[in-house]
């Protein structure tokens, strides 16, 4: 089966690539093949873990330059620097509202479905050794430590490290300085824009390895934990996936409709990235591509540069649903009766702890540990109940977080009148993009 490509003049392009050469098809095939390897040959599946790890490291290698170049050139091209603060303010208002809403949704579903009821688990009989590491990390993730960690040691160390917020801080300051210097800094701005073209081409090259990374990561997940590990706690996993689906289609779908676009068309537009996130269980693996595609969909470069990386730390809808749902599951499984006041306290603590551990590897499980450490009503030892299935729920967290940040970028761009609606419509309808400074990240993605 071949896919007919259309050029900007509306004419069919000769020699259109067959379906199997498109990246999303390759990633999907790799996920299925990896799952089969992990299921039938688990030891081989576990041994393939370095393939997934290597691909994620390759992508992380390019994240800092992508954010820096996108944001610096975007801010430098702004006519008013006040718009930077305005965009940031609107983004954080959006993040705060929907992050809190996601926590509330998790509470409501947990109280309605009660997936942990009837398990009658004695916390004293649980092996807490496996969760000890997560609890220790959570205890070192206070708000003060988090804020201090945003400030890099040097200007260059931010670009050499793995903290998105450090890169964001340096990029904003550098972009503002470049804009304030004005015309004398024009050569620097032009140079950075040209470097950006090269970096995005490099991203396209790296994304060709996506099927290999997805194959290795999925083979390891199934080989290590086994599909049968889902059976014991299938109710919790199913409840979490269904709740996330309702949140994406219902809540984010309504937001998208009010903003003039379809959530289903957005998901189709990002299908390659979503499959990559599913395969690697990491939303960071698709961050550079998301930034490029949001810009290609008509969102202004400064908005994309601010909202996407910031959202990766503060707009974690999937993680927030997971936190309250998992906390109440543990309470129900251990026969801990939480009053309305206890649940409100849990909600308030979760709002803070989810920000304190933002950007930390395994943030979902760590933020849950941080929340339960502060709320003594729910035993931290109960986390041992869900450790075995956390990897499977991590994939759903990452997918929900990814879609939430894509929606947030378009909505904030629309609020700030920095959205080309015709370009958005064309992108979501699959029409060829026009007038872009940067080439598409990967020609096979669409």
Within-domain flag for 243: yes
In a domain, 14, yes or no: no
Q: What is the pLDDT of residues 122-150, one digit of tens each?
A: 776 665 555 555 555 555 555 666 677 77
> Are 109 and 239 spatial neighbours (Cβ–Cβ below 8 Å)?
yes
Is the pLDDT at 205 greater than 80? The verdict is yes
Q: Is the pLDDT of residue 104 over 70?
A: yes
Q: What's the pLDDT at 259?
A: 92
Q: Specify the higher pLDDT residue, 223 or 242.
A: 242
Is 355 inside a domain boundary? yes
Tokens of 37: 């390897």
Show the beta-strand stretches assigned E in 131-248: none
pLDDT at 2: 43
pLDDT at position 231:
62
Task: Supply the pLDDT for residue 3.
Answer: 43
pLDDT bin (cut points 50, 70, 90) of residue 228 is low
Q: Does 34 map to a domain? A: no
pLDDT band at 437 (very low <50, low <70, confident <90, very high): very low
**Cα separation of 73 and 301, whole Å?**
8
Q: How many CA atoms lie within 13 A of 366 on its CB side?
A: 19
> Residue 12 pLDDT > 70, yes or no?
no
**Is residue 255 very low, low, confident or very high in pLDDT (cuts 50, 70, 90)?**
very high
Spatial separation of the C-alpha atoms in residues 44 and 38, rounded to whole Å: 7
pTM of the entire predicted model: 0.77
Confidence of residue 9 (pLDDT cuts 50, 70, 90): very low
Tell me, yes or no, whether 195 lies in a domain: yes
What is the model's pLDDT at position 364? 65
Q: Which residues have CB under 8 Å from 302's CB, separation 6+? A: 71, 74, 75, 77, 78, 83, 84, 87, 175, 418
Assess if residue 45 is contained within a domain: no
Specify whether the CB–CB gap between 383 and 134 falls below 8 A: yes
Supply the CATH number for residue 152's domain.
1.10.3860.10
If pLDDT is split at 50, 70 and 90, which confidence band does 11 have?
Answer: very low
In a domain, 302, yes or no: yes
How sure is the predictor about 232, in pLDDT bands with cuts at 50, 70 and 90? low
Tally of domains in the chain: 1
Give the domain extent around 411. Answer: 50-208+230-428
Residue pointed to by tokens 């998992």: 326
How is 253-299 classified by DSSP, letter by letter?
A: HHHHHHTTS-HHHHHHHTHHHHHHHHHHT-GGGGHHHHHHHHHHTTB
In the chain, what percentage of residues exceed pLDDT 90? 17
CB 439 within 8 A of CB 201: yes
Residue in the block written with tokens 């993009």: 433
pLDDT on residue 358: 44
Give pLDDT tens digits for 260-298.
999 999 999 999 889 888 887 777 778 888 988 999 999
The DSSP-derived string for 3-54 is: ---B-TTSPBPTTPPBGGGSHHHHHHHHHHHHHHHHHH-HHHHHHTHHHHHH
**Does residue 440 contact residue 198 with C-beta atoms inside 8 Å?**
no
- Assess if residue 18 is contained within a domain: no
99 contacts 323 by C-beta, under 8 angstroms: no
């Amino acid at each position: 089966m071949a896919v007919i490509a259309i050029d900007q003049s509306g004419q069919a392009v000769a020699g259109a690539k067959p379906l199997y050469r498109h990246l999303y098809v390759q990633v999907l095939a790799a996920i299925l093949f990896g799952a089969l390897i992990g299921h039938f040959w688990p030891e081989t599946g576990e041994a393939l873990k370095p393939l997934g790890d290597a691909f994620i490291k390759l992508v992380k290698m390019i994240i800092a330059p992508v954010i820096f170049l996108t944001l610096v050139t975007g801010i430098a091209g702004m006519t008013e620097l006040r718009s930077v603060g305005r965009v940031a303010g609107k983004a954080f208002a959006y993040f705060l509202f929907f992050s809190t809403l996601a926590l509330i949704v998790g509470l409501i579903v947990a109280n309605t479905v009660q997936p942990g009821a009837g398990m009658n688990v004695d916390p004293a009989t649980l092996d807490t050794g496996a969760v000890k590491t997560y609890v220790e990390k959570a205890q070192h993730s206070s708000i003060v430590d988090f804020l201090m960690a945003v400030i890099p040691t040097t200007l260059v160390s931010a670009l050499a490290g793995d903290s998105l917020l450090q890169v964001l801080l340096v990029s904003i300051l550098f972009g503002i300085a470049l804009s304030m210097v004005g015309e004398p800094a024009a050569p620097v701005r032009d140079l950075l824009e040209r470097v950006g073209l090269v970096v995005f081409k490099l991203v396209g090259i790296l994304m060709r390895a996506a099927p290999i990374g997805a194959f290795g990561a999925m083979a390891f997940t199934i080989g290590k934990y086994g599909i049968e590990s889902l059976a014991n706690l299938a109710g919790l996993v199913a409840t979490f996936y269904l709740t996330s689906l309702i949140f994406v289609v219902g809540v984010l779908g309504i937001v998208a409709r009010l903003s003039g676009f379809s959530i289903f068309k957005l998901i189709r537009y990002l299908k390659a990235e979503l499959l990559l996130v599913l395969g690697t269980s990491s939303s960071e693996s698709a961050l550079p591509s998301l930034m490029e595609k949001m810009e290609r969909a008509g969102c202004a470069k400064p908005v994309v540069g601010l909202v996407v990386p910031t959202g990766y730390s503060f707009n974690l809808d999937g993680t927030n649903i997971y936190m309250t749902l998992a906390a109440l599951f543990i309470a129900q499984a251990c026969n801990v009766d939480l009053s309305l006041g206890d649940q409100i306290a849990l909600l308030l603590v979760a709002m803070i702890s989810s920000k304190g551990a933002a950007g930390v590897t395994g943030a979902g499980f760590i933020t849950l540990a941080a929340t339960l450490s502060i709320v003594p009503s729910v035993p931290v030892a109960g986390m041992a109940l869900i450790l075995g299935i956390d990897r499977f729920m991590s994939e759903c967290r990452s997918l929900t977080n990814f879609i939430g940040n894509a929606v947030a970028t378009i909505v904030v761009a629309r609020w700030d009148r920095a959205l080309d609606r015709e370009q958005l419509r064309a992108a979501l309808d699959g029409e060829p993009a026009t007038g872009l400074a940067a080439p598409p990240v990967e020609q096979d993605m669409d």
